[in-house]
Amino acid sequence: MTTTPANIDGKAPQKRQKVAGRVKGTPNKVTATLKEAILLAAAGAHKDGMTGYLTDQAKNNPAAFMTLLGKVLPTTLANDPTNPMPAPQFIVQPVAPKGE
């Protein structure tokens, strides 16, 4: 655990003001370029484009495909305003203790 040194008066030092770097919310250019390159590679890897490639992966590498699906599906469902995810529902049923 790291601790922040206190000033002479015992108060924690103030945070430094940000003076350089990307503005908050600006996408990283390298990440965007890499994502585009990956999508282009997937589209060119199969005669039927990316859908054909992903279909082949689902059949030939189901574990890897399910990992991908597990990462993509929750964000897809959470961002669909026409089909919002229902709130979880819990049902509590009283149960008599054993021996009674």
Model confidence pLDDT, tens digit, residues 31-69: 888 889 988 998 999 999 999 999 999 999 999 999 988
End-to-end CA distance of the chain: 52
pTM of the model: 0.48
> Cα(22)–Cα(61) distance, rounded to whole angstroms?
38
Domain residue ranges of the chain, discontinuous segments joined by +: 29-78
User: Would you say residue 26 has pLDDT above 70?
Assistant: yes
